[in-house]
Structure 1
């Protein structure tokens, strides 16, 4: 299996000292997880390499024979302005450093500087280059309204423009190594988005899914990090954690909002350091998986309430995708209904039935607290009891009625309906407005409109006649 290179673009190390190039390469790979490295000892070959390879960042020595680092820096900035340059020099001179920054260098380091500081500088430059490339990709996709890989979203049934924007954003951020936070209500399909992100990343490893809700700190650590033999009572043999199982792939952590504070600290360290210790081991392992997390909770609100770490929250939301609820993309309801009816009929060994046109009107006026998952359950329930040629609406009506009854107390939540600086309409005017709105939403269907108003159909019919004659 081929190991995925990080970052997605190449890092070119330029220095005429082979020993320095070798030691820097090893340090970047061991301490920074940076594996997409090119090395060059001859400064005259650099421009040719930049023309041939997908290079995003260059580390450049200043004092080299033939073509000096300063002259090379000028050429790179002029001919390849999208490539970042870090100068690494043996000269500890403020004037030289300032001049390099003025010429366009991203940063300046002295070779005798602490190795950790240099590696952090390279990682920081890689992150900024990734953000720059993502912004360029986003602009291109939104301006052209294109999807480069629509096949990655083939398993997601939608025609909604908001969802298309989500797909375009995912295409832009999927190749990077940064975490993705997927938010949205329960049942909107967050795991499907995680699968699409994994497919788009091009990673050769598997997608490993873990629901972290209800895991205490010890179970969370053992699940993710694994353990050595004898790490605790009952650990008779070593076990690889989910991070190791997801090597060169994607680790999907669902319900991340339910993590305890202690487990949040462990996850933060994993994301910051890129390494972890299996339980019972004193030798660190490098994380080779991309992390995608999901939650139905408002992490921003939990963070303000002190229930979620601020540093972890901001690290997770480097790339954030919000999936709109089904009630905000009602044009998807007919598409999803067709899909689930076909799926249910095939699974249950029945012919797919036709359904009355007013069914989609009924569903469009329902809030779907369970979102796509709830619509799927409705469709399967309806097919399971279906016997006639036309699908009955009874299952759908019964579910909607029961949900509305259960949520009856929630409907009394105070809402601002009338403007404070305007006079109140009369009761008669309000009634007429409600009837008009209900009939509009029901597309003229009195049975559905009466359900929306909470009255009987004869009562609505009587009201409509009175409105026409008045």
Structure 2
């Protein structure tokens, strides 16, 4: 068995009494399918022992063998290890035998003399099916027990948000898979940090190679990813390895995948479907030996419906998909992140960490943060660069956040109509009172912040509150 970045995560056991066939099948699986987590068994009497000792998830089983027949073994495996997939690879092209094997619980049936490509394709489909079953088991286990097995992997992502914890649990469950992962989320939410966490979880010994594909035309995209041979085009005076080759044994992270041209989308789809690519100027394919992780801030479902993103590629990418919530939807993280970034900035600037005014958390909680975590980090560093006294000044944040603290409607959605469902409109002074009460609630009783949210001066708000108080008392 090849122990370097084994694929799949579980073992594939080849059972046949013909040693030459076992050898040739092993070579074909690795060369054409990238499958290297292989065990071989020539004696059918030893099969159940191998399954008991090793982490077998798929068995390729010959039917006609001395000692124990393939059909007998199939019955035993299905009965004792129902979670293991079995593919029958027989020398006999008999429909009745094939139907009987499927009825007994085999995943598929192939004839040895059938073309190699069909067999490899069938085995890869069986592996994907097993991976999804194992992932579903892992997800159920993690969500039901609310556990993280490797919390240290996520230590660099500052959060206590339940939505983020669910993302972490999902990523742990799919970490062993070879399928691509699609990371969605607005700009600045930390998609690259998530990509690095996926890489660490997958225990790959190769590097993470990051490529921002936004703005790459089709030729540059192909050259960047696939590399080229010397003389492939004018100016190609030497062979250059592409990013896929540089990421061998590791993770290839493609950022801003939503900006990829349709021509480049075809190339990426073929890479993911076939697991192979051609360097420019070469007629010999190379196998991809990296896991692909992609990210976008765009709505791929909407782009796909508009004909701007290939449907087949979209469905291939969304096999494993995570949505990173924007900062405005995890306000509990704002104080944590602020503290983290202020400490980071203080260390970088050689200053002491300041005391944070209590009102600052309230001010930040009422900001939409269109730039998300990246925006908060920039604010913290800007404030620290101007910081002089023990108490952190609110002024930098007030200036940066400005007067307009309203949440913008997501792109493509209409502005909310708060009175649309009302048959009769409320009186003007009633709306004003409700608005003031909501501003006071959001500002947690701080009149200065409430006045800023309302776009009025503090004396004007104070006067209104006093008037309302006296009217209530009267």
Q: Same fold (TM over 0.5)?
A: yes
The whole-number CA distance in structure 1 between the counterparts of 2:148 and 2:52 is: 27
In the TM superposition, 1:44-63 aligns within 5 A as 44-63=45-64
**Matches of 1:402 and 1:270 in 2, distance apart?**
49
Q: Is the 8 A contact 2:405 2:453 kept in 1?
A: no
2: distance between equivalents of 1:350 and 1:327? 29
The number of residue pairs the alignment matches comes to 468
Number of the residue aligned with 2:269 = 268
Partner of 2:464: 463
Q: Compute the displacement of 1:419 (Å).
A: 5.4
* 2:138 aligned partner: 137
SS of 2:252's partner is strand
CA distance in 1, matches of 2:248, 2:414: 48
SS of aligned partner of 1:283: coil
Corresponding residue of 1:190:
191
CA RMSD of aligned residues (A): 1.8
User: Superposition pairs for residues 426-465 of structure 1, below 5 Å?
Assistant: 426-465=427-466
Separation in structure 1 between the aligned mates of residue 326 and residue 292 of structure 2, nearest angstrom: 24
Give yes or no for the alignment of 1:121 onto 2:156. Answer: no
Cα distance in structure 1, aligned partners of 2:405 and 2:196: 33
Greater CA deviation, 92-101 or 373-382?
Answer: 92-101
CA contact (8 A) 2:89 2:112 kept: yes
Write out per-residue CA displacement over residues 164-219 of structure 1, whole angstroms, 9 at most, x where no aligned residue: 00000000111111000000000000000000000000000000111111111111
Query: After TM superposition, what 4+ stretches of structure 1 lie above 6 angstroms from structure 2?
Result: 405-408
CA 1:406–1:146 in 2, change beyond 3 Å: closer, same or farther? closer
- The question of whether the paired residues in 2 share the 8 Å contact of 1:450 and 1:456 is answered with yes
Residues of 2 paired with 1:46 and 1:428: CA distance? Answer: 82
Q: Tell me how far 1:231 sits from its aligned partner.
A: 1.6
1:31 offset after TM fit, Å? Answer: 1.2
1:250-308 deviations in Å (ceiling 9; x for gaps) = 00000011111111111111111111111112221111000000000001111111111
2 CA distance for matches of 1:93 and 1:407?
Answer: 65
Check the 8 A contact 2:404/2:453 in 1, yes or no: no
- Matched with 1:258 is 259
Task: Return the alpha-carbon distance in structure 1 between the equivalents of residues 403 and 281 of structure 2.
Answer: 52
After TM superposition, the structure 1 = structure 2 runs for residues 81-230 of structure 1, keeping only pairs within 5 Å, are: 81-230=82-231
Match of 1:12 in 2: 13
Q: Is the CA contact (8 Å cut-off) linking 2:368 and 2:407 kept in structure 1?
A: no
In structure 2, relative to structure 1, the CA distance for the partners of 1:197 and 1:155 (3 Å cut) is same
Provide the C-alpha distance between the structure 2 equivalents of 1:308 and 1:4, rounded to a whole number of angstroms: 32
SS in 1 for 2:402: helix
Q: Structure 1, residues 421-449: CA drift from partner, whole Å, max 9, x if none?
A: 64322222211111111111110001111
TM-score (norm. length: structure 2)? 0.96
Q: Is 1:3 aligned with 2:18?
A: no
* Alignment partner of 1:304 is 2:305: yes
* Aligned 8 A contact 1:4 1:248 in 2: yes
CA distance in 2, matches of 1:314, 1:13: 31
Secondary structure of the corresponding residue to residue 211 of structure 2: strand
Q: Is the 8 A contact 1:2 1:204 kept in 2?
A: no
CA displacement, residues 70-116 of structure 1 (integer Å, 9 cap, x when unaligned):
11111111111110011111222222222211111111112222221
Q: Which segment drifts farther, 332-341 or 212-221?
A: 212-221
Q: Is the 8 A contact 2:252 2:293 kept in 1?
A: yes
Structure 1 residue runs of 5 or longer lacking an equivalent are none
The alpha-carbon deviation at position 413 of structure 1 amounts to 5.5
The answer for the alignment partner of 1:278 in structure 2 is: 279
49-58 or 103-112, which moves further after superposition?
A: 103-112
Match of 1:238 in 2: 239
In structure 1, C-alpha distance between the alignment counterparts of 2:292 and 2:438, rounded to whole Å = 46
State the secondary structure of the residue aligned to 2:445: coil
